[in-house]
Amino acid sequence: MMVGTGIRTKIGLRMAMALLVALAIGSTELSGAGAAVEAADLTAEEIVARMDANAYMASAHLVAKLVIRAGSREITKQMEGWVVGNQKAMVTFLNPGDRGTKYLKLGDELWMFFPDAEDLVKISGHMLKQGMMGSDFSYQDALESEKMGELYEFKLAGVETYDGARCYVLEATALPGKQVSYPKRKIWVDCEKFVARREELYAASGKLLKVSRVEEVKEKGGRTYASRVVMEDKLKRGSSTTLIIEQVEFDVKIPDDVFSLRNLMR
Amino acid sequence: MRTTERYAVRKSTGRRVLPLHTAVRCPAAAVSLCLAAAFMLSCGTTAAQSTMDATTLPALQVGGEWQTGVYAAQTQGSWSGSVESMLRLKLRLGDYPWKLYADVGTTLGRVPGTDGDWTVTTELERAYLKIFLPWADLSLGKQQITWGVGYAWSPTDVFNPPNALGPDGLRPAVEAAVIRVPAGPLAYLSLVAARNERSSTQQGSGAAWQYGARYHANYGGTDWSLAAARDTGTTMVGVDAKGDLAVGDLALGWHAEVAHHAPHDGSSPWVEGVLGADRSWGGGKVVWAGEYFYNSRGAETQDSHTYTSWLAGDRTYPARHYVFTQLRYQHDEFTSVLGSVLANLVDRSAALTAGTTILLGNRWTLSLSATGLAGRPGAEFTGGAIPNASFSTPNVVLKARAAYNF
């Protein structure tokens, strides 16, 4: 088949979204233990360093839900995921329409397994811009596993109140030579919890592509995490996806063979 | 239904193959449709309630899909139709290291282009058990064995190759034992022993079993495999690979597959190959993919096309050069449309398909498609060259299918 290649066009329709795990927990959205300290007079680099440090986790196991909306229509997908660092992730879908569909991320590569066709597919690089499982999160959103501070140059644009919280406003421009999904970003970072409350994602031309916002933050084991994130694709009218983390365990021991083609095809 | 008709129907319409010996003119099969629906509804509630507990409850987990479809074919100005229904079940008991899969299909219809009676047929399309051993995974029963990376063609897949006219469909299952031994996170060795269905329907056409081995690995970001198999009177050796190509801002996915077939009777060997590419635009809203298929023993002129092996159920394509291309547009999260062309470059006949798939909520999916077969009289896809056939190839095939997941 040709997903990944494109054709496997059952493709697109049954596409699972794997690594939102990494999105929700790993990449940008979180703050961690000890982050709830009032930060004053920090530079942009220091703010980003705190975000990056707090986002790091050794491993996680979670159960989450994706609510995908287009206008008045809505579908829900459920998934279970395992993540180690920012390089390994395995996600399996649990909802009836996608049950058994799995994703494996190792480094920057992604594989998908279609249980009905018993078929393993390596996702082509250019397909990574496509929405996973028909959601507003792209594969690349999830695959960007490097720390933000290693991908972008940041500028502190000011401090604003967003959704009732004082936030640093950071403007990010991709560093030369770095392959990123969005050449420019604007991020509202909670001054106390170092959670990115809102993020605007831009093309190189300056066109607004997507907006993500955190609707709910929870704490577990001394770690603060975004439990409800909404992503809106500004190129698609009335389109949004809400990622809801229902259960999560941090720093759990996950055997290496979980992240293998063998496990993907089981 | 005769073997030739069975394969011709599949080849010309992309429909699932009608069973050979299980055609039964009885109301029982119709009843099975009702049973399937009833079972689906009864399971649906349970499955919905336990979805989030699927990985933790030590109870029997039941899931699956029910599909029903309506097909209409126009042949020489008249229309004929059929109705198909299929129930797919997946069973797993708690965390026990096994899974059981079963697909049951029922068809009400007749061969397009004939005046034959309407028949109801029921077939166990797949039924197999997966057992997860500490050092390997074992699959036993009637199952799909997906070898190769090709989409419309997969030359190394000697067990159940795809149908170029319906590549998105499930491949016909074969009775087989498959053992997959891991050799690293991204590598495994697959060993297969499969019953050759064609040999049981063709007298004297070779061994009753096929055997094969395939090693899959990833090197430098490219997936590749080496495969070897011994099938009906032939030994196949092949290789496939799939990767990415980036030249400046141009990013392409590519895949290639080659198989060398050596007959045991000393006749000339032949080579089949697939070269494919894919590309997307607009953040994946528009996806193009294409494949070229080369068959060294295929005919180079229309007049020299031979359908003997094809009509006997062989996987051979009669021409030397084919192309397949598909363009898909994802309108929104719920709706996609696609168009595809499968062409015989030698006799210049083609099958053109347009279709759409619509998600109707969390459980229902609706698919609609139309296929037109075009070419000069006597060309492959217009069917005129099939000698002594008791049927005709349709000019147009319409399909509507609904699927319910539980």
Overall average pLDDT of the B75-97 stretch: 79
For A:209-238, CB contacts with B below 8 A are 235-236
Alpha-carbon distance of B84 to B72, in angstroms, equals 11
Indicate if the alpha-carbon torsion angle B122, B354, B324, B310 is positive or negative.
Answer: positive
Query: Which of A15, A16, A18, A21 shows the shortest CA–CA distance to A245?
Result: A21
CB contacts, 8 Å: A130 with chain B: 280, 283-284, 287, 330
A159 touches chain B (CB under 8 A): no
The terminus-to-terminus CA distance of chain B in angstroms comes to 33
CB contacts, 8 Å: A246 with chain B: 52
Where would I find the H helices in B188-347? 197-201, 308-311
B334 touches chain A (CB under 8 A): yes
Q: What does the block give as tokens for B281?
A: 């635009």
- The 10s digit of each residue's pLDDT in B79-89 is 888 888 888 88
- Residue B127's alpha-carbon distances to A30, A102, B22, B120, B143, in angstroms, are 46, 22, 16, 21, 7
Quick check: is A3 in a domain? no
pLDDT at B96 > cutoff 80? no
B276 vs A2: CB contact, 8 Å cut-off?
Answer: yes
Alpha-carbon distance of B201 to B313, in angstroms, equals 9
- Residue B11's alpha-carbon distances to A238, B6, B18, B357, B379, in angstroms, are 42, 9, 12, 22, 14
Half-sphere exposure (CA, 13 Å, Cβ side) for B361? 7
B88 touches chain A (CB under 8 A): yes
Half-sphere exposure (CA, 13 Å, Cβ side) for B166? 19
DSSP states along B48-65: HHHGGGTTT--SEEEEEE
Q: How many beta-carbon contacts under 8 Å exist across A and B?
A: 188
Alpha-carbon distance of B294 to B274, in angstroms, equals 6
pLDDT at B201 > cutoff 80? no
- The 10s digit of each residue's pLDDT in B279-290 is 998 878 899 999
Quick check: is A9 in a domain? no
B287 vs A100: CB contact, 8 Å cut-off?
Answer: no
A75 vs B334: CB contact, 8 Å cut-off?
Answer: yes
* Separation in Å, CA of A117 to nearest CA in chain B: 6
Quick check: is A247 in a domain? yes
Q: Give pLDDT, residue B364.
A: 92
Characterize A29-51 residue by residue with b for buried, 16 or more Cβ atoms within 10 angstroms of its Cβ, and e for exposed. Answer: bbbbeebeeebeebebeebbbbb
Domain that holds residue A126: 20-264
Residue count of chain B: 406
Closest residue in A to B64 (Cα) is: A96
B330 touches chain A (CB under 8 A): yes
**3-state secondary structure (DSSP) of residue A71:** coil
B234-247 and B188-195 as β-strands: parallel, antiparallel, unpaired? unpaired
B164 contacts: CB under 8 Å, gap ≥ 6: B152, B153, B293, B317, B322, B324, B342
Q: Give pLDDT, residue B114.
A: 62
- The 10s digit of each residue's pLDDT in B342-361 is 999 998 999 999 999 999 98
Helical (H) or strand (E) element with A62: strand A59-70
pLDDT at A188 > cutoff 70? yes
Task: Give yes or no for a contact between A8 and A2, defined as CB atoms under 8 angstroms apart.
Answer: yes
pLDDT at B239 > cutoff 90? yes
Higher pLDDT, B395 or B278: B278
Quick check: is A4 in a domain? no
Task: Give yes or no for a contact between A207 and A201, defined as CB atoms under 8 angstroms apart.
Answer: no
Helical (H) or strand (E) element with A101: none
CA dihedral B152, B156, B159, B163 (to 10 degrees): 10
Q: Residue A197 is part of a domain; what is its CATH number? A: 2.50.20.10
Closest residue in B to A94 (Cα) is: B51
Looking at every residue in chain B, the average pLDDT score rounds to 79
Query: Which of B35, B64, B66 shows the shortest CA–CA distance to B47?
Result: B64
pLDDT at A142 > cutoff 70? no
ipTM over 0.90: no
A236 vs B330: CB contact, 8 Å cut-off?
Answer: no
Alpha-carbon distance of B72 to B279, in angstroms, equals 33
Strands (E), B184-320: 188-195, 209-219, 222-231, 234-247, 250-263, 270-281, 286-295
CB contacts, 8 Å: B292 with chain A: none
Alpha-carbon distance of A3 to A7, in angstroms, equals 5
- The 10s digit of each residue's pLDDT in A46-96 is 888 887 777 667 888 999 999 999 888 899 999 999 988 778 889 999 998
Task: Output phi, psi for B304, to 5 deg.
Answer: -95, 10
Matching residue, tokens 């319910």: B404
Query: Percent of chain B, pLDDT > 90?
Result: 39
pLDDT at A133 > cutoff 50? yes
B134 contacts: CB under 8 Å, gap ≥ 6: none
pLDDT at B213 > cutoff 80? yes
Distance of CA B406 to the CA centre of its chain: 23
Of A13, A95, A115, the CB nearest to B336: A13
CB contacts, 8 Å: A80 with chain B: 55
Quick check: is A86 in a domain? yes
For B:166-185, CB contacts with A below 8 A are 167-168, 170-171, 180, 182, 184-185
Query: Which of B323, B322, B157 shows the shortest CA–CA distance to B240?
Result: B157
Task: Output phi, psi for B291, to 5 deg.
Answer: -140, 145
Overall average pLDDT of the B140-157 stretch: 93
A2 touches chain B (CB under 8 A): yes
Q: Nearest 5°: CA angle at B323, between B322 and B326?
A: 150
Where would I find the H helices in chain A? 20-21, 44-55, 139-143, 148-151, 261-264
Closest residue in A to B249 (Cα) is: A126
Total tally of structural domains belonging to chain A: 1
Q: Give pLDDT, residue A51.
A: 79
pLDDT at A34 > cutoff 50? no
Quick check: is A12 in a domain? no
Of the ranges A12-16, A18-22, B90-94, B378-382, which one carries the lowest mean pLDDT score?
A12-16
A13 vs B362: CB contact, 8 Å cut-off?
Answer: no
Closest residue in A to B217 (Cα) is: A261
Alpha-carbon distance of B135 to A93, in angstroms, equals 25
Please list the residues that pair with B231 across neighbouring strands.
Answer: B234
pLDDT at A244 > cutoff 60? yes
A127 vs B180: CB contact, 8 Å cut-off?
Answer: no
pLDDT at B324 > cutoff 80? yes
